[in-house]
Structure formats: structure tokens, C-alpha cells
Amino acid sequence: MEFEEERLLSDLAEIDLQKYLQVPKPCRRDLYEEMKQATPARIGVWRCGPRPLTDTLLRFRADHAVAQDSVLGEVDPQFPLRYGMIPVQTMCTDKDHYLTRPDLGRKLDENSLSIISENCSKGAQIQIIVSDGLSSKAVEANIPDLLPALLQGLKGLGITVGTLIFVKYGRVAVMDTIGELLKPEASVILIGERPGLGTAESMSAYMGYNPRIGMVESERCVISNIHKGGVPAVEAGAHLATVLKKILDAKASGVSSGVII
């Protein structure tokens, strides 16, 4: 039996929803366009009776699938090596373990503790950590531009940087465990954010002075929404360097430090 040649369907996720006007014959098209451009939220999607349009529902499911892929996906094992990062792993054994045991994502396994102790420099002014977190896509999309900009910015400010570390299955507070081992003045962890329907490539940068076990969340500074539709990676890298300089000068971080992000 002969089959028709398989036809590929268009990728719904490629449509820019901020430019896609679904309301037919809007009475104020200019205002409608302005509202769409002001937010990535799903506004003006129209309806069929009380139900959403078919393409609205399909786009929702497509974006949800992209978000799931980012959470459940893995960063290429060769990726950290291309940027000179020492790869280590938390006490989580796989992605399911990571998602169900957040506490273990804050601790390193015994092998990783040994690797860091034996191969990473101690006492640097800034310790940079990269972690997949809840979005593998965020790491692969942003680090190629963000990391060089950050390193260049810190170098220009005369700030020493420790051995770069990549943590698989990491949570934010794993920076405290690494800080306890390496004793840097301050630390920053670049970590994938939980994906949403707007983007699956968003990254955050959490910074802390004197990182150590027992550090509370109010002692951290954070820059979030680092992605092509938010804070561009290159811009974020350069800005992070200046914020880290402020943290070193203030010898403090977080809400009581007076450091303005």
C-alpha cells in the first residue's frame, strides 16, 4: 500500500503571541496592539461561545509541552566542559529524585565534595556556580553569552574569580555548601528558573556575601528573568559584575545590605 508523503505541521510555539491579534475587528486596534506589546500574558485570545478558540488551546498545550521538556530535560554532559567548569552533582540521583526531594538538591554527594576540595581554588573574591535547576534550556540558552560578559566585567574591576563549577540537579542553597568548602568572599549561582508558558529559557542569578551553611534567604540578592524576552544575557552578565562589586564593597548582601540591584 502506498502512503501519502508525510507533511510536517507548523510549529505553533514559533508564533509571537504579542503580535498575534485574535480578536476579529477590534474597535480600538491601536489600543489592542499596545496592550499586547506591553505584556507576554495571554490577553485578547477571543473565544467560540464560552470556549477558547482551537488555536488558543493548541498553543497553550504546545507551550506547556515546551516547559515540561525544559524541566525534565538534561544539560549536555559536554556543556560544562566547554566553558571550563568542574562538573559535580547533588545528592539527587535523577530528575524525578530532584523534583521530589528539594532538600537533597541543596547538598552535594560525597564524590562531589571530594572533587571540589581537591580541584577548586579557595578564598577567591567571587565564586561562580552554574546549575541546571528547573530549566536545562535556560542554561544552554544563556550561559554562552552571560558567562563571558560576567567574567570580562569582573576582570575589568580587578576582582578574582574561583574555579568555575557546574552543579547537576542543584537548588539555590547548594551555593552555601560550596561556600562552606571554598570560603569565597561572595558567591553567585546562575540557575534555571521554573519554566512558564511565556518562556522556558529564563535564568536567575542569586548572590550572597560570605556564603555558608545556614545562610537565610534574606541575605541573598537576585536578578531574575534573564532571557531574550527579559533581561538579555549579555546585559545581565555585565550588570552582575557591578552588583557583585557593590556586595564586596558593602561586605554584605540581601535586604539589609543597602545594595541596590
Which residues does the annotation place in the binding site for adenosylcob(III)alamin? 172, 193
- Pick out the residues of the known binding site: 172, 193
How many Cα atoms occupy the beta-carbon half-sphere of 175 within 13 Å? Answer: 31
- Alpha-carbon distance of 188 to 147, in angstroms, equals 12
- What would the grid cell of residue 194 be? 521554573
SS3 180: helix
Q: What element of type H or E holds 136?
A: helix 136-156
Count of helix runs (H) and strand runs (E) in the chain: 8, 6
Instruction: Say how far apart CA 171 and CA 35 lie, in whole Å.
Output: 36
